[in-house]
Chains A and B, each alone.
Chain A
C-alpha cells in the first residue's frame, strides 16, 4: 500500500541534543512538507521541498534543518537552537504539478518530548 511513514511514533530527548525525525513516502510525490502541531494552534509549516536537493523555509524554520537527498525521504532535524521543541510533528507529501497538486497526504506523526 502506498503511504507515508514516520518514525518513531514517540521520541524523548534531553535538552541540548539534536534529534532527527524520519519521513518516507512511496506515493511517488514530488513535494514533501513538515508541519508542527501544538494544542489550539493548528498546523504550522516548518519546511517544504518540491524537488530533490531543494527545500524552502516555512513560517517557523528557526531551530530546524532538513535535507532532501532522495525523492522518497525528507528527514527533519530538531536542533538544540529550537527553543520549544516539544510538539507533534507531521510530515506530508503531494504532487507538485497537475490536477491533484496541492492535495496533501499526511503521515501518522511523531510526538517529540524534550526535557
Chain B
C-alpha cells in the first residue's frame, strides 16, 4: 500500500536549535517527494521538492531535505530554527507523472519557543 509515515507528531524546540523531522514512505516505483508547511490558519505552501538528481535538496527559509532511496526516507532539516518556523509540516509523495496527486503523511507540529 502507498503511504507516508512521519514519526514525530509534535516537536518542541527552542530558538536556534537544530531540527530534523523524519519521513518514510512506501510506494512502488520511482517517486517524487515533497515537504509542505502550513502556518497556523493558512494554506499549505511548498518548502521543497525532489524529482531527480542531487538527493540533497535545498528549499526556502533555510530548509533542506535528503532523499535516501535505500531507506525510503526524505527527512527535513534546518540547522537553526526560529520562532517563525512554528507550523505544521507535511511530507508527501507521488509517482512520476502524477502531477499534484499526493499522498500525505500525518503531519508534524513544530513549536519553537522564543
Do they bind each other?
A: no
